[in-house]
């Protein structure tokens, strides 16, 4: 007889349900197309907490396995953080979260805008020559 702890089955079933619930579409939503040619892509942050436990009692049932008690808990938080706005090949991020509160977060927020400006500058230089 295989010695499988009942907590393994309980935890595996819970994790399978969490996997089915959380997909890539949860973080990067379906694009929204507007009549004026703008595409909006919703972006979310997903946080997951997971825990479980159980106990196998020492007394055996007559002709059976030891009694077992256990449980699992899972918490999922989905928080919208912004939209990617795509217009005429230019991509911008519009945040719906509070503004960055430290220098590193501010720099990360500015990267897409800086990249767009660098691309624009390079294009202008190519066209000038």
What confidence score (pLDDT) does residue 70 get? 80
- Mean pLDDT along residues 83-100: 83
Note the residue count of the chain.
129
Please state, rounded to an integer, the average pLDDT across all residues of the chain: 79
2 pLDDT higher than 60: no
- Of the ranges 6-15, 36-45, 60-69, 73-82, which one carries the lowest mean pLDDT score? 60-69
- Residues 6 or more apart in contact with residue 33 via CB below 8 angstroms: 39
Does the pTM surpass 0.75? The reply is no
Beta strands in 57-123 (DSSP E): 68-87, 90-95
Give the ranges where 3-102 is alpha helix by DSSP (H).
6-21, 24-27
Please report, rounded to a whole number, the percentage of residues in the chain having pLDDT higher than 90: 11
Q: From CA 99, how far away is CA 105, in angstroms rounded?
A: 9
What confidence score (pLDDT) does residue 1 get? 43
Intra-chain end-to-end CA distance of the chain, in Å: 79
Quote the DSSP letter at residue 112: H
């Amino acid at each position: 007889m295989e010695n499988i702890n009942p907590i393994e089955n309980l935890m595996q079933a819970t994790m399978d349900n969490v996997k089915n619930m959380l997909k890539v579409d949860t973080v990067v939503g379906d694009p929204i197309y507007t009549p004026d040619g703008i595409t909006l892509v919703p972006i979310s942050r997903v946080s997951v907490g997971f825990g479980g436990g159980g106990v196998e009692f020492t007394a055996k049932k007559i002709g059976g396995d030891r009694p077992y008690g256990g449980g699992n808990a899972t918490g999922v938080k989905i928080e919208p953080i912004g939209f990617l706005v795509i217009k005429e090949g230019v991509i911008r991020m519009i945040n719906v979260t509070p503004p960055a509160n430290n220098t590193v977060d501010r720099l990360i927020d500015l990267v897409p805008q800086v990249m767009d400006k660098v691309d624009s500058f390079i294009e202008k230089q190519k066209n000038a020559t």
